[in-house]
Amino acid sequence: MSVTAAQGFTAAGIAAGIKENGNPDLALVVNNGPRLAAAGVFTSNRVKAAPVLWSEQVLKGGQVSAVILNSGGANACTGPKGFQDTHATAEKVADTLGLNAAEVAVASTGLIGLLLPMDKLLPGVETAVGQLSEHGGEKAAIAIKTTDSVHKTAVVTKSDWTVGGMAKGAGMLAPGLATMLVVLTTDADVESDVLDRALRAATRTTFDRVDSDGCMSTNDTVLLLASGASQVTPEYGEFAEAVRAVCDDLGQQLIRDAEGASKDIKVEVVNAASEDEAVEVGRSIARNNLLKCAIHGEDPNWGRVLSAIGTTKAAFEPDQLNVAINGVWVCKNGGVGEDRDKVDMRYREVHIVADLAAGSETATIWTNDLTADYVHENSAYSS
Amino acid sequence: MSVTAAQGFTAAGIAAGIKENGNPDLALVVNNGPRLAAAGVFTSNRVKAAPVLWSEQVLKGGQVSAVILNSGGANACTGPKGFQDTHATAEKVADTLGLNAAEVAVASTGLIGLLLPMDKLLPGVETAVGQLSEHGGEKAAIAIKTTDSVHKTAVVTKSDWTVGGMAKGAGMLAPGLATMLVVLTTDADVESDVLDRALRAATRTTFDRVDSDGCMSTNDTVLLLASGASQVTPEYGEFAEAVRAVCDDLGQQLIRDAEGASKDIKVEVVNAASEDEAVEVGRSIARNNLLKCAIHGEDPNWGRVLSAIGTTKAAFEPDQLNVAINGVWVCKNGGVGEDRDKVDMRYREVHIVADLAAGSETATIWTNDLTADYVHENSAYSS
């Protein structure tokens, strides 16, 4: 499982003392080759954390030999000193492992606006290097948790190659990615430009459509590393689908673990004039706080779906809109449809279909309900 | 106070039985002239309730002799029958008062997707007509309440003319107006095109910048009626300022009564390159659920302000952003500023200043915190 499912990778996860509670907080993933190809996707937030600025530069070279990730501090909005700390972390990893720092990616998650305790982090790098193992993927996945209640890993195994990965993220989950750190690894023998193409295609319809609370992070990082250790170069379509499947699996795990949520809501927009419009409408529905409260209360409140659709610029006629909740078409032609009492909302999974009757395109956005627990968790946690 | 503060208006508020709990639910405002000038602003939601579609047509004539408003049902997403019901309501008012139905505006608020009980509403119109009074403004304001905890009225009195009004709204408060029904009246002798200009100027910087929960209603209606009874035609600037002041007062009352809120948050964006960008940034901050939770927890979490700014297209450099919370510049130059422990957040009013350092334009958005009470109220109320 995790980042060590594919051949050619070792990993470690340790407690460096960055988190005051002593939980694991430092993860290291090393690509032992023979290939060091890599691709990355980062937050589209214009306020980017220091490690994002650093890793974006690293990924331009298309080679990553190691990724060092810490929880317990985002190193965002920390100015030049924060960037120097990221740089020093990469240098420390490179020195200890005999690598080139320009090929060491860095990722951080946690509080915004605080400098990392480098006196703990740098010695932690040495400890992590000492514990690198081809069975270390699970520990690495645990070390990147923040408010996550569980660690998240996924793997797709083909006959002679594998794609695996780990993710963290539980809040500030919105597109342009959700707040997440994700490292994917594969032993397929694939060049960085192919990795890049497959990763962008995968994130576009998975992580980018996870929209738990509409809040976009400063630190989102998704990396895909290829070791080539299987000596197999898969056909592109098959490889891309494996990457997509791992991303989809991890994305679903993020939704299921979203802070305080009691419902996982699949918002499927159908018969849109374009995919972009389907996404726009899906996001508008997924971000409607009143609807999210109604779903929490197991109220199939289609009026709030329509009022959310009505705020978009997508092509539709109000009197042709249809909405189904858990299979019951409670709104037909913009008005009352089937009996809303038929809607069974007792289960965690809720499926909303919004039919725009304006074309043939579709998109699905994943979100959660809005709960008192979300409020409690986020009024106490300073991030 | 309210809609009968100005000369030339009578009003009534009664319980017609639309609300099952027997509370007042039908309000009537009549302009007795001599002038019948009017202007209106309506929701920009593309899913518009039947009364909005009707009243938009009425307002095109620039004359309104009466406004009939009901709570207890939005008459939205109710198809052709819903529109017929709105039409029948206007006809009933016109018949009973000897008016032209094409000059009777209709407004509704409450549940979406349910037809109004016309067997109760139409007799209610007769009752309301029988109770019309120049002291009826207060009762009218009470009859339009839904989840409002208090009724809202405001008045500006000049030496020889007056602008007064009433408002309802407590949730689904977002721009393109907040979910609100507002009727303003004046005895100034002003033509409809001047009313329209003054009303649009006023709502643009008041109701349109109230953004309690980011949710835009299907029923928003703001009407301004002029009777001319004072026989005074004020200078435009003075009149427009009076209209703005009444709108501002009512808008503040909406924020203070927002569902479940414990904090009223003034988000002031300064030094933006344009007013539009200031508004865009202000809305992004005001709609950030994580920040709204932090404010609820009295946590001066400026990192969440920066991450919200970062999602916009406004001109700024991340390392030049400054943020003050309740007067303390907790973020300077995109990083840590003054000690956040200096921020006093014990009071209901919270003032966030976001300095984009990109120009000289400014805008203020008003919002609320996100609370467990908001979740509870809106997971139980089907609207």
H helix count then E strand count, chain B: 10, 15
Interatomic CA distance for residues B269 and B10, integer angstroms: 41
Q: What integer pLDDT is reported at residue A171 of this predicted model?
A: 60
What is the reported pLDDT for A257?
Answer: 85
For chain B, the maximum distance between any two Cα atoms, rounded to a whole number of angstroms, is: 68
- Which of A48, A303, A307 is the closest to B216 by Cβ? A307
> Range of A321's domain?
264-380
Cβ-defined contact of A372 to B370 (cutoff 8 Å): no
Q: How confident is the model at residue B176 (pLDDT cuts 50, 70, 90)?
A: very low
Q: How many Å apart are CA A2 and CA A184, to the nearest integer?
A: 8
Q: Give the model confidence (pLDDT) of A245-265 as tens digits.
A: 999 999 989 888 887 889 999
Please choose, from the candidates A35, A50, A147, the residue with its C-alpha nearest in 3D space to the C-alpha of residue A373: A147
Cβ–Cβ contact B76 with A under 8 A? yes
Is A39 found in the same domain as A13? yes
| CB proximity under 8 Å: B 249-268 to A | none
A56 and A86 share one domain: yes
- CATH number of B330's domain: 3.10.20.340
**CA-based nearest residue to B109, from B62, B64, B68:** B68
Q: How confident is the model at residue B177 (pLDDT cuts 50, 70, 90)?
A: very low
Contact list, B302 vs chain A (CB under 8 Å): 77, 113
For the question of residue B179 being annotated catalytic, the response is yes
pLDDT at B25 over 50: yes
B289 vs A215: CB contact, 8 Å cut-off?
A: yes
Please enumerate in sequence order all residues whose Cβ is within 8 A of that of A381, keeping only pairs 6 or more positions apart, or say none. A147, A171
CA–chain centroid gap for B260, Å, is 18
Most A-contacting residue of B262, B379, B382 (CB-CB within 10 A), to test interface: B379
Q: Cβ neighbours of residue A276 under 8 Å, at least 6 residues apart?
A: none
Catalytic residue among B43, B179, B221, B371: B179
CA distance B268 to chain A (A): 19
Task: Indicate which CATH number applies to the domain containing B231.
Answer: 3.60.70.12
Q: Which residue among the candidates A43, A86, A153, A179 is catalytic per the annotation? A: A179
> Residue A155: CB partners within 8 Å, gap ≥ 6?
A1, A2, A5, A162, A163, A164, A165, A246
Q: Are B263 and B299 in contact (CB under 8 A)?
A: no
Residue B259 annotated as part of some ligand binding site: yes
Domain co-membership, B239 together with B338 = no
Decide: helix, strand or coil at residue A63.
Answer: strand
pLDDT score for B33: 94
**Confidence (pLDDT) at A179:** 64
CB–CB contacts below 8 A, A to B: 210
CB contact under 8 A, B213 and A307: no
**How many Å lie between the alpha carbon of A315 and the closest alpha carbon of chain B?**
11
DSSP B168-226: E-SSSB-SSSBS-EEEEEE-S---HHHHHHHHHHHHHHTGGGB-SSSPPPS--EEEEEE
Strand partners, B108: B70
pLDDT digits (tens, 9 = 90+) for B289-301: 889 999 998 999 9
Q: What pLDDT was estimated at residue A260?
A: 83
B238 annotated to bind ligand = no
Judge: A172–B376 Cβ closer than 8 Å, yes or no: no
Examine the domain organization and report whether A91 and A169 are in the same domain. Answer: yes
- Partner residue facing B112 (CB), from A214, A297, A307: A307
Please check whether residue A213 touches B, CB under 8 A.
yes
**pLDDT value at position B217?**
79
Tens digit of pLDDT at every position of chain A (383 positions): 799 999 999 999 999 999 999 999 999 999 999 999 999 999 888 888 999 999 999 999 999 999 999 999 999 889 999 999 999 999 999 999 999 999 999 999 988 888 999 999 999 999 999 999 999 999 999 999 988 889 999 999 999 999 999 999 866 555 444 468 999 999 999 999 999 999 999 998 898 888 777 677 888 899 999 999 999 999 999 999 999 999 999 998 988 888 788 999 999 999 999 999 999 999 999 988 889 999 998 999 998 899 899 889 999 999 999 999 999 999 999 999 999 999 999 999 999 999 999 999 999 998 989 888 888 877 875 44
Name the residue type at position A34: P
Task: Report pLDDT for B47.
Answer: 84
Whether residues A288 and A152 share a domain: the answer is no
- Note whether B307 contacts A: Cβ–Cβ < 8 A: yes
H or E stretch at B322: strand B322-325
Nearest-angstrom CA–CA distance, B313 and B4: 45
Tell me whether B317 touches chain A (CB under 8 Å).
Answer: no
Q: Residue A254: which H helix or E strand, with range? A: helix A236-256
pLDDT at position B172 is 55
Structure-token pair, residue B147: 């989840």
H-run or E-run covering A57: helix A50-60
Instruction: Choose from B212, B216, B289 for mutation: most chain A CBs within 10 A.
Output: B289
Predicted local distance difference test score (pLDDT) of residue B171 = 60
Instruction: Tell me: do A91 and A160 sit in the same domain.
Output: yes
CB pair distance less than 8 Å for A290 and B383: yes
User: Does residue B152 sit at the A interface (CB-CB below 8 Å)?
Assistant: no
DSSP letters along A169-238, please? -SSSB-SSSBS-EEEEEE-S---HHHHHHHHHHHHHHTGGGB-SSSPPPS--EEEEEE--TT-----HHH
Residue A176's pLDDT is 44
Give the model's pLDDT for residue B178: 44
Residues 6+ apart with CB under 8 A from A220: A42, A43, A45, A52, A176, A177, A178, A179, A180, A181
The verdict on B40 and B176 lying in the same domain is yes
If one counts the domains in chain B, the total is 2
Task: List CB contacts (< 8 A) between B289 and chain A.
Answer: 213-215, 289, 370, 374, 378
Residue B179 has pLDDT above 70, yes or no: no
For residue B291, CA distances in Å to A179, A259, B117, B267, B308 come to 15, 15, 42, 12, 9
Residues A231 and A275 in one domain: no
Q: What's residue B148's pLDDT? A: 86
Task: Inform me whether the C-beta atom of residue A112 falls under 8 Å from chain B C-beta atoms.
Answer: yes
* Cβ <8 Å between B370 and A289: yes
Q: Which residues of A are annotated as a binding site?
A: 146, 168, 179, 259, 378, 383
Please check whether residues A170 and A277 belong to one and the same domain: no
User: A221, A238, A256 — which closes off a domain?
Assistant: A256
Scanning B215-327, the segments in alpha helix (DSSP H) are 236-256, 275-286, 289-296, 302-309
> A-chain residues within 8 Å CB-CB of B170?
none
Q: Domain boundary at B200, B231, B256, which? A: B256
Q: Report the gap between the CA of B176 and the closest CA in chain A (Å).
A: 9
What is the strand order of the sheet B328-332 is part of? B335-336, B328-332, B322-325, B349-355, B264-272, B361-368
Q: In degrees, to the nearest 5, what angle opens at C-alpha B217 toward C-alphas B185 and B123?
A: 60
Q: Please name the residue ranges forming H helices in B44-117.
A: 50-60, 79-97
Local confidence band at B383 (pLDDT 50, 70, 90 cut-offs): very low
Predicted pLDDT at B222: 92
Question: At CA B99, angle to CA B93 and CA B105, rounded to 5?
Answer: 55
Crossing angle of the two packed helices B275-286 and B302-309, in degrees rounded to 10: 130
Asked if the model's pLDDT at residue B175 lies above 70, the reply is: no
Distance (Å, whole) CA B323 – CA A48:
17
Q: What is the pLDDT of residue B313?
A: 92
* Distance between CA atoms of residues B164 and B243, nearest Å: 8
The secondary structure of residue A379, as a DSSP letter, is: H
Mutate to test the interface with A, among B42, B48, B77 (most CBs of A within 10 A): B77
Rounded Cα gap, residues A247 and A255, in angstroms: 12
pLDDT at B134 over 80: yes
What is the gyration radius of the CA atoms in chain B, in angstroms? 21
C-beta atoms surrounding A32 within 10 Å: 15
Of A253-257, B150-154, B155-159, where does mean pLDDT reach its minimum? A253-257
Helix (H) or strand (E) holding A140: helix A137-143
> For chain A, what is the total number of helices (H) and then of strands (E)?
10, 15
Asked if A229 and A34 count as a contact pair (C-beta separation under 8 A), the reply is yes
- % of chain B residues with pLDDT over 90: 74
- In angstroms, the CA A21 to CA A23 distance is 6
- For chain B, what percentages of helix, strand and coil (3-state, to nearest 5) are there? 35, 25, 40
Q: Which residue in the set A48, A303, A311 is minimally distant from B216, CB to CB?
A: A311
Q: Does A150 touch chain B (CB under 8 A)?
A: no
Contact B77 A378 (CB under 8 A): no
Is A318 near chain B, with CB under 8 Å?
Answer: yes
- Closest residue in A to B318 (Cα) is A47
Q: Kindly state whether residues A72 and A164 are assigned to the same domain.
A: yes
Q: Say if residue A238 is in the same domain as residue A295.
A: no
CA distance A273 to chain B (A): 17
A303 shares its domain with A245: no
Q: What is the Cα–Cα distance from B226 to B191, expressed in whole angstroms? A: 8
Out of A222, A256, A290, pick the residue that ends a domain.
Answer: A256
**B306-327 pLDDT, tens digit each:** 989 988 999 999 999 999 999 9
3-class DSSP state for residue A128? helix
